Amino acid sequence: MVKLAIDGGTPVRTAPFAAWPIYGEEELAQLKEVLESGKWGGAGGPAKPGYESKLALMERRFAELQGAQHAVSVVNGTVAITVALQAAGLKPGDEVIVPPYTFIATASAALAYGVIPVFADVEEDTLLIDPDRIEPLITPRTKAIIAVHIAGAPADMTRLKQVARKHGLVLIEDSAQAVGAAWEGQGVGSIGDIGTFSLQSSKNLNAGEGGILTTNNRDYWENAWSICNVGRIPNGGWYQHERFGQNYRMTEFQAAIVLAQMTRLEEQMRKREANARLLDEQLAELKEIRLLRRDERITRHAYHLYLFKLAPEFADRVDKKDFVRKVNAEGIPLSEGYVPLNRNKSILDMIEMWTGERRVYDCPVCERACAKEAMWLTQNVLLSDEQAIYDVAEALRKVIRSYD
């Protein structure tokens, strides 16, 4: 019988996986240009003659990348969601339907503005929001849907658009993990009414911190721009504050890093996709593992995470935490993944504060996935060499065999 590393055996892998972030001369050159320009902030200030704002250039290029007409940079992806709700006209007390299998910011960003998240369960085989669970949750207070492209896989935007249009709801795409992803050839963030992205340090396009909104609706763009620029209006006077807003601006330094990182994005996406296919082939042979279904309409998967599940019968006889610990000991950075937001105390406390009632949301698919089945590898694992992918598969095989 094989001896696991956690019990003193030899780990499958001792070599490191690909380092993150990746940087080089491009980043240094862009940062030097900003430093010498004299224009460091996101608004105002002098610059050397001939200097083009990195923020303005980054916003244009990012909009082009996702196929959107407009983009607005913000301090982070969480604020991007809050601003998107404000720009679309939601008000405190309105409701937005969100999935429970996502980072807490999807819900907390709404609550920060007094918008109440209502949780619609996810699909069993994708862990993306289930369009069929949305309509029963719609009330007169419902004003929007947030579709989360979890792990970099676009949600079913065709069905979600149908539901949103039928009920007159704003459709927001939380694309924090999905830079470069596409649904039926169209970039995420340009399919619904507004898209939001994160540029936080773990993301595939990384500025340390930062975020960006995209939209094809000029009114939403102007609203978002104004909200992020202390209520000013595009091309207005410096002290012409026509809306209530805050200072949510990024810096020129962050935009410079994004521009440099964008030169690496396509090559990195191709490598992640190739290694994800290879890992799919390896894991498909294991009856104890279930790969997530990739909808044929997903024309580009960003693979911010490589997400998979333990098969139900296997998950019922092993402890998920124990399984992950054993794989970790084999040198593989496997993560347990999210907890269900519909059961998160801080979220439920905030909902109660805003509404005066303790709400209960039933999301059994998400809850089981979080407790027993779902787990992931981060994107830098997929940037490693092919041997790293074979090592991941071998470590999973080894740990699975130990339960026999």
Tell me which residues are annotated as active site.
Answer: 203
How far CA 48 is from CA of 36, 51, 52, 205, 335, in Å, comes to 8, 6, 9, 28, 47
166 torsion bin: left (phi>0), alpha (psi -120 to 50), beta (else): alpha
Judge contact between 12 and 338, C-beta under 8 A.
no
CA–CA separation, 205 vs 189, rounded Å?
15
The DSSP code for 86 is H
Phi, psi of 98 (to 5 degrees): -135, 160
Token pair, residue 285, equals 């042979």
> Residues 6 or more apart from 165 whose CB is under 8 A from it?
none
Query: Taking Cα atoms as reference points, which of 84, 300, 294 lies closest to residue 204?
Result: 300
Beta strand segments in 311-390, E: 374-378
Phi, psi of 393 (to 5 degrees): -65, -40
CA–CA separation, 389 vs 279, rounded Å?
6
Distance of CA 27 to the CA centre of its chain: 23
> Residues 6 or more apart from 209 whose CB is under 8 A from it?
75, 76, 199, 200, 201, 254
Half-sphere exposure of 18 (CA within 13 A, CB side): 22
Phi, psi of 216 (to 5 degrees): -105, 5
CA–CA separation, 259 vs 262, rounded Å?
5
Token pair, residue 186, equals 């169209």
Cα-atom radius of gyration of the chain, to the nearest Å? 22
